[in-house]
Structure 1
Amino acid sequence: MNFRGLKRLTATAIFATLLTPSFLIPQAEAASTVVSPVAPKAFINSDLAYGEVLIREGTTFITLTDLKPLGDYTYKYDSAKKQITISSKDTKVVVTAGSKLMQVNGANKTLTNAPFLHKGKTMVPLRAVSMAFHAKIYWNAPTKTVFIAKPDPNVVAGLHSESLTTARNAALYMPRVSLIPQDLIERTYLEMQGQDYYFPKNRADMYFELDNDLVSYYKIRNNTAELKWQAKLHIEKGKDPKSNFFILPYHFTKEIGQQPDIKDLTFARFRFRYPVGSTFYSMVNSKGEYAFGDVELDNHSPNYEGVIVEIPEEADDN
C-alpha cells in the first residue's frame, strides 16, 4: 500500500510543521472570551496548532485554519453572512459566527456554544470539529492539551494489512495522542539526521521512536498512536550498565508515563538516515544485535510505503 502522498508523522513534524495562514476576515471579537492562565494547546493529526486555543465558558475553541491537517477540505468565507463553508468530496458544513446552528450536509446541528471571530480568525468549539470533520477528540485536562485525530482511511487499511512492513509504516502515520498527565518532553537537536524505530518482533501494534535525545513509546489503540512513556536521554552521562532497557541503555534526565518491561522481547530495529536516503536494520534482544542489513529507499517509486523495510531474517527468527 502506497502512503507516498501522506506526511510521515515524526517528533520533528509535530513541533516544526508550519500551517498556512488563516482567513483574513473582519474582526468582531467576542468580549467575553477568557484565555486560560496556562495557555491550552492543540495537536491536530499530530501537528501542533499555531493559532490560539481559547477556553470560553468551559468550552475549548480552535481556529478553523489549524484544522487543515484533518483532510482535503476547501474553505469559502461569506463576509456578508459571516459564514464559512467547509467542503469535501462527501461533506458540506456551514458555520456562522455568533450562531449555535451548524449545517452538516443540509441538516441543522445545534452547538452548545456558537463560533466567534477572534483577531480575524473564526474560532469553533470542539463539538463542531467532531461533528463536521468526524474526528475524535481527546482532552488531557492536567496539561490543558487537546488532541484531534482523524486517520486517513488508506492508513487505517494499511494498519490491518497482512503485510507486516505495510502495517508498521501505517502505524507511524497514525495520529498521535497523549493522556499522560504531564507535558510532553522537548528534544534536544543533536544532528541525528533521521529517526530510529523499534518494533517488537512480528508486531506492528507498538513501537519506540528515538528522535535525537528523545525516546517515545507508542501503542496503537482505536486507530491512534497513544503515547505511553517518554524519556530524555542523558547523552553526556552515557550508558547505564544497570539498565534493563537494552535497546537504549542510557541514563535518563526526565521521564513521563510508565516505562514498559521489555526484557523478554526481541525487536526489529530500523535506523532511517535522510542524508543517504537509506534505512539500516537489525534484530536486537537482551543478548545482543544481529541480522544486519540496509535498504536504499526511493520515495518516488509507486511501491514506496515508508522508512520501515522488510527484514528477511525476522520471519525465520522463531
Structure 2
Amino acid sequence: MNTFSKAALATTISFSMLASGVSGASGAASKSIIMQVNNVPLPGDVDLYVQNGSTLVALNMIRSIPGVTINWNNTSKTVTVDNNGTKSTLVAGKKETMVGDKKVTLPTSSVMKNGRVMVPLRFIADASGSQVYWNAPDRTVYVAKPTEDMLKEIQSSDISIARHGAYSLPRIAKVNVLSGEEGDSMAYIRYFPKNQSSEFFEQHMDIVNYYRIIDTHVELLWSARLNLQQEAKNASLPFLTNKIVEQSGKMPTIQKGVVYYNYSVPGGTTFGTIDKAGKKTRLGEATEDQARQMFFSIPEEEQL
C-alpha cells in the first residue's frame, strides 16, 4: 500500500476508533481525555486533565505536529518550541510565555507532573501554529496542522487529487461523534456531491458523518445513525435511503447528485453515482491503480 492510501487508511481507522469507543460514555467525567494530532490518537504516559477550565497535556505529545521541534533545558526548566523557525519559550510553573517576540499570558501555568512538563492547550496553539479544539462531550482534544502537501492537494484543479486532499486534512469534531453497531467491518462508503471536493460524507455500517473544509482543516458538522433495516426517503439527503434514527449537529442539504466510492477490506473498491432523486447506479469495480489512489475520476458524474 503506498503513502497515498496509507494516510487515508490511518484517518479511517482513527476516526472509526473514536466513533466506536469515545461517545458511548460521552460526558462521563471519569472518561480519559483523548488527544488527536492530525487524526492520529496519541498514546501518553501521563493522563491529560482539566485545571481551572484549561486542558493540560504532556509537552512530548506535540512532537508529532508537522514542522515543530521541542527542546527542554532541565537546569532552567525552560521549554523551547521551534515552529518552522519561530521560537517560543516557556518556563515550567509560569503563566508568561514568549511566542516569537510576543509576550503571552496563559490561562494557567505549566506544571511538572510525574517527571513530565504539562502545558495548557493555548500554548500548543500559539507555539505550533496549530488549530486546537476541545470537544468537551467527547473529552477529546483535536490538534490540526496540515502539511504543505495537503494544502497543495486541496488546491488542485484535478478533482480526484482535491478530494484526496480534503479526505486527508486534519479533522476536528464539532459535534458529538455517535457510536455505531459493534463489529470489525472495514467497509466504508464515501460520498461527494457532484463536482465538489470541499465537503463529503463517510458511512461506516450504520453511522454516517458529514465533513466540510473550514480554513485549512476539516470539521465534522453532522453525525447520524441509520436503521439499516428500514428504508426511508430523506428529502435533504436523497442519496441516504435508510431511516435516520439519531443525529448530532445540523443536517446538511444536498440537492444534487453524488458520486460514491465503496471501499472494503477485503473486497476492493466499487464506485458509482446516485442522482438527486436517489437512484443509485453501480458503475463497476476500481482497477488496482484506482484503488491505490482511493479517489479517481468518474466520467458519469457530469451527467448527474
Q: Does 1:12 align with 2:6?
A: no
- 1:67-119 residue CA offsets vs partner (Å, 9 max, x unmatched): 234214343333333333334553444433113343445x4633323211223
Q: CA deviation at 1:198?
A: 0.1
Amino acid at match of 1:204: S
The two structures have a TM-score, normalised by structure 2, of: 0.80
Q: CA deviation at 1:58?
A: 2.6
Amino acid at match of 1:110: V
Contact 1:284–1:290 (CA under 8 A) maintained in structure 2: yes
Q: Distance in 2 between matches of 1:268 and 1:6?
A: 22
Q: Does 1:261 align with 2:253?
A: yes
Q: In structure 2, what is the equivalent of residue 283 of structure 1?
A: 273
Distance 1:124 1:215, change over 3 A: same
Contact 2:63–2:70 (CA under 8 A) maintained in structure 1: no
Q: In structure 2, what is the equivalent of residue 111 of structure 1?
A: 105
Identity %: 24
Q: CA deviation at 1:279?
A: 2.9
Amino acid at match of 2:109: A
Aligned length: 287
The two structures have a TM-score, normalised by structure 1, of: 0.76
Report 1:84-123 matches (<5 A): 84-87=79-82, 89-104=84-99, 107=101, 109-112=103-106, 113-123=108-118
Contact 2:151–2:216 (CA under 8 A) maintained in structure 1: yes
Q: In structure 2, what is the equivalent of residue 309 of structure 1?
A: 296
Q: Does 1:213 align with 2:206?
A: yes
Contact 1:76–1:84 (CA under 8 A) maintained in structure 2: yes
SS of structure 1 residue aligned to 2:271: strand
Q: CA deviation at 1:283?
A: 0.9
SS of structure 2 residue aligned to 1:70: coil
Q: Distance in 2 between matches of 1:68 and 1:214?
A: 32
Report 1:87-166 matches (<5 A): 87=82, 89-104=84-99, 107=101, 109-112=103-106, 113-140=108-135, 145-166=140-161
Q: Gaps spanning 5+ residues in structure 2: where?
A: 19-28
Q: Gaps spanning 5+ residues in structure 1: where?
A: 18-35
Distance 1:297 1:88, change over 3 A: farther
Q: Distance in 1 between matches of 2:82 and 2:150?
A: 22
Report 1:149-298 matches (<5 A): 149-180=144-175, 183-235=176-228, 238-244=229-235, 245-262=237-254, 264-275=255-266, 278-285=268-275, 286-290=277-281, 292-297=283-288
Q: CA deviation at 1:15?
A: 5.6
Q: CA deviation at 1:208?
A: 0.5
Q: Distance in 2 between matches of 1:242 and 1:104?
A: 53
Q: Distance in 1 between matches of 2:260 and 2:31?
A: 39
Amino acid at match of 1:111: T
